[in-house]
Amino acid sequence: MIRASVIAVILVVAGAVARAAEPATPVERAWRIDGVERKAIVYAPADATTAKCPLLFSFHGHGGSARAATARFRFQALWPEAIVVYMQGLPTAGMLTDPQGLKAGWQSAEGAESDRDLKFFDAVLASMKRDYKVDQKRIFATGHSNGGGFTYVLWAARGSVFAAVAPCAAIPGRSALKMKPKPALHVAGKEDPLVRFGWQERAMAAERKINGCDEAGKPWESAGPCVGTIYPSKSGTPLITVIHPGGHALPDAAFTLIVRFFKAQQH
Protein backbone atom coordinates (compact mmCIF):
# COMPACT_ATOMS: atom_id res chain seq x y z
CA MET A 1 0.00 0.00 0.00
CA ILE A 2 1.30 3.47 -0.86
CA ARG A 3 1.69 5.64 2.20
CA ALA A 4 -0.32 8.83 2.52
CA SER A 5 2.90 10.88 2.77
CA VAL A 6 4.08 9.51 -0.59
CA ILE A 7 0.72 10.30 -2.18
CA ALA A 8 0.94 13.83 -0.80
CA VAL A 9 4.38 14.32 -2.34
CA ILE A 10 3.15 13.02 -5.71
CA LEU A 11 0.20 15.41 -5.63
CA VAL A 12 2.42 18.37 -4.75
CA VAL A 13 4.85 17.55 -7.57
CA ALA A 14 2.01 17.03 -10.05
CA GLY A 15 0.48 20.33 -9.04
CA ALA A 16 3.79 22.14 -9.50
CA VAL A 17 4.25 20.63 -12.97
CA ALA A 18 0.71 21.63 -13.94
CA ARG A 19 1.27 25.19 -12.76
CA ALA A 20 4.57 25.41 -14.62
CA ALA A 21 2.87 24.31 -17.84
CA GLU A 22 0.19 27.01 -17.70
CA PRO A 23 0.67 29.91 -20.14
CA ALA A 24 1.70 33.13 -18.43
CA THR A 25 -0.56 36.17 -18.16
CA PRO A 26 0.09 38.71 -20.96
CA VAL A 27 1.41 42.12 -19.99
CA GLU A 28 1.43 45.04 -22.44
CA ARG A 29 4.55 47.14 -22.01
CA ALA A 30 5.72 50.37 -23.61
CA TRP A 31 9.07 51.93 -24.50
CA ARG A 32 9.86 55.37 -25.91
CA ILE A 33 12.22 55.16 -28.89
CA ASP A 34 13.36 58.46 -30.45
CA GLY A 35 10.27 60.13 -29.02
CA VAL A 36 7.84 57.48 -30.32
CA GLU A 37 5.97 55.10 -28.03
CA ARG A 38 6.55 51.46 -28.94
CA LYS A 39 4.65 48.54 -27.47
CA ALA A 40 4.99 44.80 -27.01
CA ILE A 41 3.02 42.07 -25.29
CA VAL A 42 5.13 39.96 -22.92
CA TYR A 43 4.38 36.51 -21.55
CA ALA A 44 6.76 35.61 -18.71
CA PRO A 45 6.64 32.39 -16.66
CA ALA A 46 6.00 32.79 -12.95
CA ASP A 47 9.59 31.83 -12.15
CA ALA A 48 11.20 34.06 -14.83
CA THR A 49 12.86 36.25 -12.20
CA THR A 50 14.54 33.32 -10.41
CA ALA A 51 15.13 30.58 -12.99
CA LYS A 52 16.85 30.88 -16.36
CA CYS A 53 14.29 31.06 -19.14
CA PRO A 54 14.64 31.00 -22.93
CA LEU A 55 13.54 34.22 -24.65
CA LEU A 56 11.55 34.23 -27.88
CA PHE A 57 10.83 37.34 -29.98
CA SER A 58 7.93 37.14 -32.43
CA PHE A 59 7.17 39.59 -35.27
CA HIS A 60 3.80 39.87 -37.00
CA GLY A 61 3.41 40.36 -40.74
CA HIS A 62 2.62 43.62 -42.55
CA GLY A 63 -0.83 44.78 -41.52
CA GLY A 64 -0.83 42.51 -38.49
CA SER A 65 -0.55 43.28 -34.81
CA ALA A 66 1.09 41.93 -31.70
CA ARG A 67 -2.32 41.18 -30.20
CA ALA A 68 -3.48 39.17 -33.21
CA ALA A 69 -0.16 37.30 -33.23
CA THR A 70 -0.66 36.16 -29.63
CA ALA A 71 -3.84 34.37 -30.72
CA ARG A 72 -2.51 33.09 -34.06
CA PHE A 73 1.05 32.03 -33.20
CA ARG A 74 0.36 30.81 -29.62
CA PHE A 75 4.02 30.41 -28.68
CA GLN A 76 3.10 31.14 -25.06
CA ALA A 77 1.00 27.95 -25.01
CA LEU A 78 3.40 25.85 -27.09
CA TRP A 79 6.40 26.83 -24.94
CA PRO A 80 5.13 28.03 -21.54
CA GLU A 81 8.63 27.77 -20.03
CA ALA A 82 9.85 30.58 -22.32
CA ILE A 83 9.54 34.34 -22.06
CA VAL A 84 7.66 35.26 -25.24
CA VAL A 85 7.64 38.82 -26.58
CA TYR A 86 5.21 39.84 -29.33
CA MET A 87 6.48 43.11 -30.77
CA GLN A 88 4.19 45.74 -32.34
CA GLY A 89 5.25 47.36 -35.62
CA LEU A 90 4.58 50.91 -36.87
CA PRO A 91 2.95 52.15 -40.11
CA THR A 92 5.36 51.17 -42.88
CA ALA A 93 5.20 51.31 -46.66
CA GLY A 94 5.10 47.71 -47.87
CA MET A 95 7.32 46.37 -50.62
CA LEU A 96 4.52 44.20 -52.05
CA THR A 97 1.36 45.82 -50.65
CA ASP A 98 0.31 49.06 -48.92
CA PRO A 99 2.68 51.49 -50.68
CA GLN A 100 1.14 54.39 -48.73
CA GLY A 101 2.34 52.86 -45.46
CA LEU A 102 -1.01 52.87 -43.71
CA LYS A 103 -0.49 49.53 -41.97
CA ALA A 104 1.91 48.32 -39.31
CA GLY A 105 5.15 46.66 -40.33
CA TRP A 106 8.91 46.53 -39.92
CA GLN A 107 12.02 48.01 -41.50
CA SER A 108 13.09 45.93 -44.49
CA ALA A 109 16.87 46.36 -44.16
CA GLU A 110 19.52 47.64 -41.80
CA GLY A 111 19.55 51.44 -42.05
CA ALA A 112 15.96 51.69 -43.33
CA GLU A 113 13.41 53.73 -41.35
CA SER A 114 16.30 55.24 -39.33
CA ASP A 115 16.76 51.78 -37.78
CA ARG A 116 13.73 52.45 -35.59
CA ASP A 117 12.91 48.74 -35.21
CA LEU A 118 16.47 47.68 -34.44
CA LYS A 119 16.52 50.35 -31.73
CA PHE A 120 13.18 49.04 -30.46
CA PHE A 121 14.54 45.49 -30.34
CA ASP A 122 17.67 46.63 -28.49
CA ALA A 123 15.57 48.43 -25.87
CA VAL A 124 13.23 45.49 -25.32
CA LEU A 125 16.10 43.00 -25.10
CA ALA A 126 17.80 45.19 -22.49
CA SER A 127 14.55 45.34 -20.49
CA MET A 128 14.05 41.58 -20.63
CA LYS A 129 17.60 40.99 -19.39
CA ARG A 130 17.11 43.52 -16.60
CA ASP A 131 13.67 42.32 -15.46
CA TYR A 132 14.03 38.56 -15.89
CA LYS A 133 16.64 35.85 -15.65
CA VAL A 134 17.12 35.38 -19.39
CA ASP A 135 19.13 32.40 -20.55
CA GLN A 136 21.46 34.25 -22.91
CA LYS A 137 22.38 31.00 -24.64
CA ARG A 138 18.75 30.55 -25.70
CA ILE A 139 17.46 33.72 -27.34
CA PHE A 140 15.41 33.30 -30.53
CA ALA A 141 13.56 35.30 -33.19
CA THR A 142 10.82 34.35 -35.61
CA GLY A 143 8.45 36.29 -37.82
CA HIS A 144 5.95 35.91 -40.63
CA SER A 145 6.08 37.72 -43.99
CA ASN A 146 7.36 41.27 -43.33
CA GLY A 147 8.06 40.06 -39.77
CA GLY A 148 10.10 37.26 -41.31
CA GLY A 149 11.95 39.87 -43.32
CA PHE A 150 12.77 41.70 -40.09
CA THR A 151 13.94 38.40 -38.61
CA TYR A 152 16.49 38.37 -41.45
CA VAL A 153 17.47 41.94 -40.58
CA LEU A 154 18.09 40.80 -37.00
CA TRP A 155 20.12 37.82 -38.24
CA ALA A 156 22.32 40.21 -40.22
CA ALA A 157 22.56 43.06 -37.71
CA ARG A 158 22.27 41.33 -34.31
CA GLY A 159 23.17 37.75 -35.19
CA SER A 160 25.46 37.22 -32.20
CA VAL A 161 22.46 37.61 -29.86
CA PHE A 162 20.57 34.58 -31.15
CA ALA A 163 20.95 30.85 -30.75
CA ALA A 164 18.71 30.36 -33.81
CA VAL A 165 16.16 32.13 -36.01
CA ALA A 166 13.06 31.07 -37.95
CA PRO A 167 11.91 33.42 -40.75
CA CYS A 168 8.64 32.40 -42.41
CA ALA A 169 7.13 33.28 -45.81
CA ALA A 170 9.90 35.81 -46.36
CA ILE A 171 13.14 36.53 -48.21
CA PRO A 172 16.25 38.24 -46.81
CA GLY A 173 16.87 40.87 -49.48
CA ARG A 174 20.16 42.63 -48.97
CA SER A 175 20.35 41.37 -45.38
CA ALA A 176 21.83 38.18 -46.89
CA LEU A 177 25.05 40.10 -47.56
CA LYS A 178 25.73 40.40 -43.81
CA MET A 179 24.25 37.17 -42.47
CA LYS A 180 26.76 34.86 -40.78
CA PRO A 181 26.26 31.14 -40.07
CA LYS A 182 23.37 30.60 -37.67
CA PRO A 183 21.02 27.63 -37.10
CA ALA A 184 17.86 28.54 -38.99
CA LEU A 185 14.45 27.18 -39.94
CA HIS A 186 12.54 28.55 -42.93
CA VAL A 187 8.80 27.95 -43.46
CA ALA A 188 7.44 28.34 -47.01
CA GLY A 189 4.17 27.59 -48.80
CA LYS A 190 4.32 26.16 -52.31
CA GLU A 191 1.30 28.24 -53.40
CA ASP A 192 2.32 31.52 -51.74
CA PRO A 193 0.88 34.24 -54.03
CA LEU A 194 2.67 37.10 -52.26
CA VAL A 195 6.21 35.93 -51.50
CA ARG A 196 6.53 33.48 -54.36
CA PHE A 197 7.82 30.01 -53.58
CA GLY A 198 10.52 30.36 -56.25
CA TRP A 199 11.84 33.45 -54.48
CA GLN A 200 11.90 31.57 -51.21
CA GLU A 201 13.64 28.59 -52.82
CA ARG A 202 16.46 30.92 -53.86
CA ALA A 203 16.53 32.38 -50.34
CA MET A 204 16.81 28.92 -48.80
CA ALA A 205 19.62 28.04 -51.21
CA ALA A 206 21.45 31.19 -50.09
CA GLU A 207 20.90 30.26 -46.44
CA ARG A 208 22.35 26.79 -47.03
CA LYS A 209 25.44 28.38 -48.56
CA ILE A 210 25.83 30.87 -45.71
CA ASN A 211 25.49 28.09 -43.14
CA GLY A 212 27.90 25.76 -44.94
CA CYS A 213 25.24 23.08 -45.27
CA ASP A 214 25.45 19.78 -47.10
CA GLU A 215 23.92 19.78 -50.56
CA ALA A 216 21.62 16.86 -49.76
CA GLY A 217 18.91 17.18 -47.16
CA LYS A 218 17.58 14.52 -44.83
CA PRO A 219 14.05 14.06 -43.49
CA TRP A 220 13.38 16.09 -40.35
CA GLU A 221 10.20 16.27 -38.30
CA SER A 222 6.86 16.77 -40.01
CA ALA A 223 3.48 17.80 -38.62
CA GLY A 224 0.12 18.27 -40.30
CA PRO A 225 0.75 19.46 -43.86
CA CYS A 226 4.29 20.61 -43.03
CA VAL A 227 7.23 18.51 -44.18
CA GLY A 228 10.62 19.21 -42.63
CA THR A 229 14.02 18.66 -44.23
CA ILE A 230 17.33 19.25 -42.48
CA TYR A 231 20.51 20.28 -44.28
CA PRO A 232 23.31 19.44 -41.83
CA SER A 233 26.36 21.62 -41.41
CA LYS A 234 29.78 20.59 -40.12
CA SER A 235 29.91 23.88 -38.20
CA GLY A 236 26.70 23.04 -36.32
CA THR A 237 24.61 25.62 -38.17
CA PRO A 238 22.01 23.56 -40.04
CA LEU A 239 19.18 24.89 -42.13
CA ILE A 240 15.79 23.26 -41.75
CA THR A 241 13.19 23.86 -44.44
CA VAL A 242 9.54 23.36 -43.54
CA ILE A 243 7.41 23.22 -46.68
CA HIS A 244 3.62 23.11 -46.80
CA PRO A 245 1.24 22.96 -49.78
CA GLY A 246 -0.65 26.14 -48.89
CA GLY A 247 -0.28 29.85 -49.50
CA HIS A 248 1.06 32.81 -47.54
CA ALA A 249 -0.62 31.99 -44.21
CA LEU A 250 1.12 29.50 -41.95
CA PRO A 251 -0.54 26.22 -40.90
CA ASP A 252 -0.89 25.72 -37.16
CA ALA A 253 1.63 22.89 -37.34
CA ALA A 254 4.35 25.31 -38.46
CA PHE A 255 4.40 26.99 -35.05
CA THR A 256 4.73 23.63 -33.33
CA LEU A 257 7.75 22.78 -35.48
CA ILE A 258 9.36 26.17 -34.85
CA VAL A 259 9.19 25.56 -31.10
CA ARG A 260 10.59 22.03 -31.48
CA PHE A 261 13.50 23.45 -33.46
CA PHE A 262 14.21 26.23 -30.97
CA LYS A 263 14.12 23.85 -28.00
CA ALA A 264 17.01 21.90 -29.53
CA GLN A 265 19.23 24.98 -30.04
CA GLN A 266 21.55 26.98 -27.84
CA HIS A 267 24.78 28.94 -28.25
- pLDDT digit string, tens, across residues 53-71: 999 999 999 999 999 999 9
For the stretch 175-222, pLDDT in tens is 999 999 999 999 999 999 999 999 999 999 999 999 999 999 999 999
Cβ neighbours around 72 below 10 Å, total: 17
Give the separation between CA 138 and CA 261, rounded to whole angstroms.
12
Whether 103 contacts 63, CB under 8 Å: yes
| Prediction pTM value | 0.91
pLDDT of residue 94: 82
- The length of the chain is 267
User: Which CATH topology does 23-263 take?
Assistant: Rossmann fold (3.40.50)
Strand 134-144 relative to strand 164-168, pairing: parallel
Q: Domain map of the chain by residue range?
A: 23-263
Compute the distance between CA of residue 231 and CA of residue 226 in angstroms, rounded to an integer: 16
The model's pLDDT over 80-121, given as tens digits with 9 standing for 90+, comes to 999 999 999 999 988 778 888 889 999 999 999 999 999 999
Could you give the CA distance from residue 189 to residue 201 in angstroms, rounded to a whole number? 10
